[in-house]
A and B are shown apart, each in its own frame.
Chain A
Amino acid sequence: MAENFPELIDTRALRIGIDDGFNWVVANYGEALEIAFLPVLRMLTETERFLQWLPWYVVLLALCALTFVTTRSWKAAVGVAAMLFLIGLTGMWDAAMATIALMLISTLLAVILGIPIGIAMSRSDTLQAISLPVLDIMQTMPIFVYLIPFVMLFGPGKIPALLATIVFAIPPVIRLTNLGIRQVDAEVIEAVTAFGATPRQRLFTAQIPLALPTIMAGVNQTTMMALSMVVIASMIGAGGLGYQVLQGIQRLEVSRGLLAGLGIVFLAIIFDRIAQAYGRRSQQHLNLGD
């Protein structure tokens, strides 16, 4: 018989310890946290309600216009129109708007938090050395694991879904902001320093503009990861297209799962095109030479 790994410590006690500790946090701070996140919840529900309130053709035209402005391609704009039309046709419109709202707000918050963290990382090698493994863990940890503490803190609903999505989607924007700034030509940085730029001027007149294509690639990846998270997040009450997929599983309806799944794919294509085209445009004067 194979020898079992010796029980060197009492894991039951350890797990109970962790759980009790977390329960204590929930009991003492749960309510305070819930109140603190109320404005975020409000922002999310208002965005969702607004998108669902808008007539479908307004949303469709707005997204087509945005696609055309960024890609300068009629084909892409027509493609976006067709995909949105199909989403509406299959009865997934409201769910899609809820998904877009969750994705937009979580991406927005991830970017607002992630870019400053990435900038801080680019300035300190110590911070980078500490942060990179943490980001690795965040990206490899199974996403379901994030759901548990957030659900315990806030109960099932949109807030834990939003927070879990942010934690899951934030690593690329942090990583690529850090990388983009570190990759800016050292001679250019030397030049702006030689002309007497302060660290802040250096950041805003040289580092961020030159790192922008890389930062935008990070924003793009973050958007895509947020979108992929919405299916999982629907399990804890995020609603939207993910919820339709979940219902498809529960009721064994292949059609529902497939249509909602296609809707998610369409949204991914649309937002990927827009974000990528924006990244390319921000880059157009940077890499022509050499």
Chain B
Amino acid sequence: MTDEQNIKIKVDSICKVFGEDPESVMDLVHQGISKSDLLEQTGHVIGIRDVSLDIAGGQTFVIMGLSGSGKSTLIRHFNRLIEPTAGHILVDGVDVVGMNQRELKEFRRSKVSMVFQRFALLPHKTVLDNVSYGLFISGMNRKKAYDHAMEQISLVGLDGFENHYPTQLSGGMQQRVGLARALATDAEVLLMDEAFSALDPLIRNDMQSQLKELQARLHKTIVFITHDLDEALRIGDKIAILKDGELRQVGTGTQIMLHPADDYVERFVRDVNRSRVLTIGSIAEPVDGALEGLPADTPRIREDTMLDEGFRALATGSGTAIVVDEAARPVGVVTPKTLLEALAG
């Protein structure tokens, strides 16, 4: 199935303006007035300007931006914690913006769930009560809710902690409670607002791996907000880069690394350790008959190998390696020269 057929969430020209009377300045916003001019002339602030995105089902879609870029504002439109000034968000073809209060409540209970930067757990409830919170408020009976919550607790590796209170747990464990709470409602869409940003680097790494493992099993549609490009590249199938409420580039990690759309994106990309995010396949030179000239013991590397794992293969042998796809068919070659060029950016 192509992305076009499998669109789970369609963000259609969302605008958000903060101020006294946002509607009144929408014409100016559409005409492309700058953020500072609008503030000076009307006292209104642009949060999001005309953002459109297509997010495929089962994808981890990362929205990346620095603080003030509007990324947290944008994600809050997906479950209408913030009302857009203009535009629509369609989830499975249904416009979230047009829902009445009852429909919105049902949508939040069953379709979409959220993980928060500072965990936002209920400190007076145990881990078990926190995880079953979404089920409990939607009227599921306590025993069933607890049974289901226990499965999620064990899924995130917190067995034995179900009767602890959140303040008794470390940050990483608290966020796993947050994740279990979001998974418990079986929502197909998972919104994660800087979910790992408040954790220290080692724990953050663990959580990223755990999320990738879970996602490989559960195939949720994840919208993940972060200010960290390394994190975006690590977990994102697709990445959107946001600056000042405007979309700068949308693409896969490799696309963004190799073809940054503008100076702003390029500045980000420059600091990333390329060897950890680019695959051998993305830098391989196509083979056009040159393969025959290579010795038989030329090392072979899978195309989805990260560059840093390919160093050894290139260091041994004649210096050239053959890149193969998953069926071991040759798709190209890499040399230390191409590798160094890719690392230099």
B117 / chain A contacts, CB cutoff of 8 Å: 187
A15 / chain B contacts, CB cutoff of 8 Å: none
Q: Which residue of A lies closest to B134 (CB)?
A: A195
A196 to B79, CA, bound (A): 10
A187 to B110, CA, bound (A): 20
A193 to B105, CA, bound (A): 9
B44 interface hit (Cβ, 8 Å): no
Q: Could you tell me which residues of chain A, from 204 to 221, have a CB within 8 Å of some CB in chain B?
A: 205-206, 209-210
A28 / chain B contacts, CB cutoff of 8 Å: none
B133 / chain A contacts, CB cutoff of 8 Å: 192, 195, 205
- Name the prevailing secondary structure of the A interface residues: helix
Q: Is the CB of B81 within 8 A of A285?
A: no
A205 / chain B contacts, CB cutoff of 8 Å: 122, 133, 137
Q: Is the CB of A196 within 8 A of B108?
A: yes
A201 to B185, CA, bound (A): 17
Q: Is the CB of A191 within 8 A of B137?
A: no
B42 interface hit (Cβ, 8 Å): no
Q: Is the CB of B185 within 8 A of A195?
A: yes
B268 interface hit (Cβ, 8 Å): no
Q: Which residue of A lies closest to B178 (CB)?
A: A191
A210 to B124, CA, bound (A): 7
Q: Is the CB of B137 within 8 A of A190?
A: no
Q: Is the CB of B108 within 8 A of A195?
A: yes
Partner of A188, one of B108, B114, B122, B167: B122
B214 interface hit (Cβ, 8 Å): no
Q: Is the CB of B137 within 8 A of A201?
A: yes
Partner of A210, one of B112, B118, B123, B138: B123
- Name the prevailing secondary structure of the B interface residues: mixed
A285 to B124, CA, bound (A): 6
A202 to chain B, nearest CB (A): 9
Q: Is the CB of B124 within 8 A of A209?
A: yes
A119 to chain B, nearest CB (A): 18
Known: A195-B134, A195-B137, A196-B137. A286 touches B124 (CB 8 A): yes
A263 to B105, CA, bound (A): 55
B120 interface hit (Cβ, 8 Å): yes
Known: A195-B108, A195-B185. A288 touches B168 (CB 8 A): yes
Q: Is the CB of B122 within 8 A of A190?
A: no
A120 to chain B, nearest CB (A): 20
Q: 0/1 per residue, A171-209, Cβ < 8 Å to B? A: 000000000000001011011111111100100011001
A286 to B116, CA, bound (A): 18
A197 / chain B contacts, CB cutoff of 8 Å: 137
B134 / chain A contacts, CB cutoff of 8 Å: 195-196
A106 to chain B, nearest CB (A): 29
Partner of A289, one of B112, B122, B137, B167: B167
Q: Is the CB of A196 within 8 A of B114?
A: no
Q: Is the CB of A285 within 8 A of B165?
A: yes
Partner of B123, one of A190, A194, A195, A286: A286
Q: Is the CB of A185 within 8 A of B120?
A: yes
Q: Could you tell me which residues of chain A, from 13 to 45, have a CB within 8 Å of some CB in chain B?
A: none
Known: A195-B185, A196-B105, A196-B137. A188 touches B124 (CB 8 A): no
Q: Is the CB of A194 within 8 A of B122?
A: no
A288 to B168, CA, bound (A): 8
Q: Could you tell me which residues of chain A, from 112 to 157, have a CB within 8 Å of some CB in chain B?
A: none
Q: Which residue of B lies closest to A194 (CB)?
A: B114
B9 to chain A, nearest CB (A): 16
Known: A194-B81, A196-B138, A209-B124. A285 touches B105 (CB 8 A): no
A122 to chain B, nearest CB (A): 18
B96 to chain A, nearest CB (A): 13
B212 interface hit (Cβ, 8 Å): no
Q: Which residue of B lies closest to A185 (CB)?
A: B120
**Of B114, B122, B168, most A-chain CB atoms within 10 Å:** B122
B106 interface hit (Cβ, 8 Å): yes
Q: 0/1 per residue, B109-142, Cβ < 8 Å to A? A: 1101110111011111000000001100110000
B168 / chain A contacts, CB cutoff of 8 Å: 288
B166 interface hit (Cβ, 8 Å): yes
Q: Is the CB of B109 within 8 A of A196?
A: yes
**Of A187, A195, A286, most B-chain CB atoms within 10 Å:** A195
B107 / chain A contacts, CB cutoff of 8 Å: 196
A280 to B339, CA, bound (A): 63
A193 to B185, CA, bound (A): 14
Q: Is the CB of B108 within 8 A of A187?
A: no
Q: Is the CB of B167 within 8 A of A288?
A: yes
Q: Is the CB of B124 within 8 A of A194?
A: no
A285 / chain B contacts, CB cutoff of 8 Å: 123-124, 165-167
A206 to B120, CA, bound (A): 11
Q: Could you tell me which residues of chain B, from 155 to 186, have a CB within 8 Å of some CB in chain A?
A: 165-168, 181, 185
Partner of A191, one of B105, B114, B165: B114
A184 to chain B, nearest CB (A): 10
A187 to B133, CA, bound (A): 15
Q: Is the CB of A198 within 8 A of B105?
A: yes
Q: Is the CB of B109 within 8 A of A195?
A: yes
Q: Is the CB of B116 within 8 A of A191?
A: yes
B56 to chain A, nearest CB (A): 23
9 example contacts (A-B, Cβ-Cβ < 8 A) are as follows: A190-B116, A191-B120, A194-B113, A195-B137, A196-B109, A197-B137, A209-B124, A210-B124, A289-B166
Q: Can you add 13 more A-B contacts, CB < 8 Å, to A196-B106, A201-B137, A289-B166? A: A185-B120, A187-B117, A187-B118, A187-B120, A188-B120, A188-B121, A191-B116, A192-B122, A193-B81, A194-B113, A195-B113, A195-B181, A288-B165
Residues of A within 8 A of B (CB): 185, 187-188, 190-198, 201, 205-206, 209-210, 285-289
Task: Give 5 nearest A-B pairs by CB, closest first.
Answer: A196-B109, A196-B108, A289-B167, A191-B120, A288-B167
